[in-house]
Amino acid sequence: MLYSELADTFDRLEATGSRLEMTTILADFIKGVDKSELRNIIYLSQGKLHPDFISKELGMADRLVLKAISFTSGTPDSKAEELWIKTGDPGEVAEQLISKKKQMTLFAEELTVDRVYKGLTAIQDAEGKDSQDKKMKLLANMLHDSGPVEARYLCRIVTGRMRVGAGDMTILDALAEAFATKEDRPAIERAFNITCDIGFVAEAIANGGMDAIREIRVQINNPIKVMLAERLPSVSEVVAKMGGKCAIEYKYDGIRVQAHIGKDSVKLYSRRLEDLTHNFPDIAEALRAQCKHQEMIIEGECVAVDQETGFMLPF
């Protein structure tokens, strides 16, 4: 698929404030998407390359993006920076300056969704001595073959400013409309809640329909979406909400952790799906030693303990 088709869809999503209209736009679009590309298209629509629990950041520094825009459009850095300050939107800067290019190159290559995804992945993975220069050149290469609207969304994605309204719930609504029925919507959401990977869910329903969705199970290293309590003003209202009877326990001063213990690895996730494994290597190692190559998922509160007294410390 050409990236211009996806960018035009982003443009239509951004132009409407109606969630129902967004759902219809997305549903109509994804019906015509090649199933092999759908997963990555879903990620890109949220300005990502993968689910949130994979701890890799795409974000490029603003100055690098500005440099790539200036280089591609033939605009002095000072003028591009002035426009950036005025708009506050790298996508708007790219769109305006790319549209003013005096001469279109005769050697432009086709910009496809696959090429964009691979290019953004290369930007994300660039490391080492010349990584900043490499990132700038990778982006400039894609901008070189972009139209104004394509450039707008490329620059928003790489700077983490992709906001076209394609939230998780809207995408799930669109998947139900495109591949199932309204009655199937809860089952689709459940599949998302136990995998936290909306691209995977989209790919599953596109290829296998609701049968594939119903077969989705909890998996090691796919964190389960955390259920959070609602706040109420008083204890009496909490008891009333629970039907007059409830159990109460102490709230520990710590951090909620979901541990995924595989046969050869341990992953720790926060309630916001952040990978905490490297923050708490001692916990990961203790779980690995205790579980002895068994597979399990454990959730609990991680607390600090005074080794001399055995009492919990403020976290």
Task: Look up residue 304 and give its two tokens.
Answer: 């600090």
Q: Is 263 a catalytic residue?
A: no
Q: Which entry of 102, 182, 245, 251 is annotated as an active-site residue? A: 251
Q: What are phi and psi for residue 305, nearest 5 degrees?
A: -125, 135
Burial 196-215 (b: 16+ CB within 10 A, else e): bbbbbbbbbbbeeebebbee
Instruction: Quote the DSSP letter at residue 35.
Output: H
- Residue type at 47 in one-letter notation: G
Which residues, listed in sequence order, are joined to residue 300 by a DSSP beta bridge? 257
Task: Look up residue 43 and give its two tokens.
Answer: 């990620």
Long-range contacts, stretch 241-247, CB < 8 angstroms, 24+ apart: none
163 Cβ partners below 8 Å, 6+ apart? 47, 156
- The residues annotated as belonging to the active site are 251
